[in-house]
Chains A and B, each alone.
Chain A
Amino acid sequence: MSKYTEDDLEKELQTKEYEYGFYTELDSETFPVGLNEDVVRAISKKKNEPQWMTDWRLEAFKVWKTMNEPDWANVNYEKPDFQAIAYYSAPKKADPNKTLDDVDQDMLDMYKKLGISLDEQKRMNNIAMDIVVDSVSVATTFKDTLAKKGIIFMPISEAIQEHPELVRKYLGTIVPTTDNFYAALNSAVFSDGSFCYIPKGVRCPMELSTYFRINEGGTGQFERTLLVADKGSYVSYLEGCTAPSRDENQLHAAVVELIALDDAEIKYSTVQNWYPGDDKGIGGVYNFVTKRALCEKNAKVSWTQVETGSAVTWKYPSCILKGDNSVGEFYSIAVTNNYQQADTGTKMIHIGKNTKSTIISKGISAGKSQNSYRGLVQINARAENARNFSQCDSLLMGNACGAHTFPYIEVKNKSAQIEHEATTSKIGEDQIFYCNQRGIDTEKAIALIVNGFSKEVLNKLPMEFAVEAQKLLEISLEGSVG
């Protein structure tokens, strides 16, 4: 029988593995597990940080100790043992002061496997990239080209040394150390991440990108991104993430702060593909991330995210629309398969007059996964003529998954205009048969249907990454219909 049934498909796909699940043997320096004040001090010392930074961390640690892990999200998981994690791990040969030619061969091989060729990046793509492996930044490209425009793009650990005035001015202003449990933890122990500053009136000539990789086992990744777009400037920024396949759950607790000053525009795109765990729900990354942007007058921030990885995702990229006429946008595709759980969405806080926000959320659930959209639209009292449009669409595959929508709307000004639309649909067997009849096999049919469903969001990604994201969607959902 040449007949290829859905069962065959499913069987075949069960053997397909997470493409980035390899581990690279790198000589690493890893702190012993556990967390206390000394560890926080040690991280700070390792980074040769000024006293104000050490104090800032210690303050955050003090607050963290008094906080409880949030449990309001629609996710179930065994709470991480924070004393069983190593809070600092660095490939020994990484030295950010060296040029790319000096980078360790093992590490270059790893980049290659990840599809990041730094050489190629240098020549072909107009993308400046920072790469963070485990706890430290290992390579930043295009630094000089950017410097000519006055753009600062470097690991945040370097920025603390070289531009302490800028870091000190903005760090923790959007996501305070006391904001939430994971943000406090991140503030205490973050070891690297990216820092970016676009000067007044400058249009960043290329995509800026950070690639995050967890490599070592038993570690957590706590990176910190701080991006400041000065008045009238523009930048488009992309981050990508992968991790090896492991039986243990690894913790990723990042903080991203964006500051768009008057008339500035920031586009921030994420392709998150942390290891999602296996088909039985073993292993996978806990992705507990705080992302927030501040928009001053006439400023605009767009968050675009494609979330396909992680065992548990807890993430709400938000916009504080403080300035008059400022604009916040959130475009999201969240895919969950097998036993993945995602609770993700956004907060749009309207403070200024004539502020506008748009939320487009596309949730795709398959297998036994749970996918929740959670969003807050808040119109404050003096936010005259604020407008919001929200659209939350869910696509379900099979009968064992769940899609949930938790929209919160708080309006304190009568002039506000708020629209909320929500749909839930299922990939129908009739849709698949229709495609089959036209010569399109089931796997391709699903990809086609999912891409159609996600199109509004995929279109928001920078061209180069839209193609990648499409492929990622297909891979994440393989074998999910049955």
Chain B
Amino acid sequence: MLKIENLHAGIEDREILKGINLQINAGEVHAIMGPNGAGKSTLASVVAGSEVYEVSKGTVELDGEDLLDLAPEERAHKGVFLSFQYPVEIPGVSVTNFIKTAINENRKAQGLEDMPAKEMLKKIRAMSELLEIDRKFLSRSLNEGFSGGEKKRNEIFQMAMLEPKIAILDETDSGLDIDALRIVANGVNKLKSENNAVLVITHYQRLLDYIKPDFVHVLYNGKIVKSGDASLALELEEKGYDWIKEEVSS
């Protein structure tokens, strides 16, 4: 589904991603772990199309289609979703209004009419129940005054509404207490299917207790230096990242 080959990217002269190779197939859950500054969030932003980073080499394809030539919104229309590590505030725009606009813009790109209000309402109800979101929350301004946990839950709510092909969860576990973590993970698991895939980016193994990855990759210094199954995450949790660093430098 998502295929990344020899991806190099950075800011100005500083290269952050130094040749990433990653293939994610439909129905799979991948986790990328790594120490701070390894390039985890950069990878997420580059796939989503952030203009902060410049891609110097390599390809990113979704179902065989080159993504790098597409604007961020076009990538979204193709089914790329990024749950932001730090979701931004948009004052005066309610959660409902925002998601309605997003859904209808995606539908427009697919040549569809706006989603009928009734259908929209039904879906919003179902998804907010799934993620145990209070109805009142939906009329608040997007991310304004939200707690860390509320912001992340709102990200997953949007994911649930937009039904992406590939969802990239960038440090979704940070700022979540254990109950919120369980709710969010539960939501992600329920929405997982044979037709979509999830890429979990995290610093800690904690989230992976709830979202079981099929593959775990270690990102270090802009490269994937080790890949394995779920047990790799446990190993990292136990031993930390130092042994990886040593392994790489030796």
Contact = CB atoms under 8 A, between A and B. Distances in A.
Interface string B72-88: 11111100111010011
A438 interface: yes
B168 to A, nearest CB: 10
A449 B90 contact: yes
Contact of A439 (B77, B87, B89, B92): B77
B153 to A, nearest CB: 16
A440 B105 contact: yes
Interface string B163-196: 0000000000000000000000000000000000
Given A437-B76, A441-B105, A452 B69 contact: no
Nearest to B68: A3
B106 A4 contact: no
A439 B74 CA distance: 7
B51 interface: yes
Contacts of A80: none
A449 B162 CA distance: 20
Interface residues of A, number: 28
Interface size class on chain B is 35 or more
Contacts, number: 86
Interface in A394-444: 428-431, 433-442, 444
Contacts of B106: 439
Contact of A436 (B49, B91, B97): B49
Contact of B88 (A428, A444, A451): A428
Main secondary structure of the interface of A (DSSP, over half): helix
Given A448-B93, A452-B141, A433 B76 contact: no
B70 A454 contact: no
Contacts of B92: 451-456
Given A433-B50, A437-B49, A451-B93, A2 B74 contact: yes
A4 B77 CA distance: 14
Contacts of B162: 438-439
A441 B90 contact: no
A435 B72 CA distance: 9
Interface of B: 48-52, 69-77, 80-82, 84, 87-93, 97-98, 101-102, 105-106, 109, 141, 158, 162
Interface of A: 1-5, 428-431, 433-442, 444, 448-449, 451-456
Given A437-B84, A438-B158, 17 more contacts: A2-B71, A3-B70, A429-B52, A433-B50, A434-B87, A434-B88, A437-B82, A438-B105, A439-B77, A439-B162, A440-B102, A444-B101, A448-B90, A448-B97, A448-B98, A451-B93, A455-B92
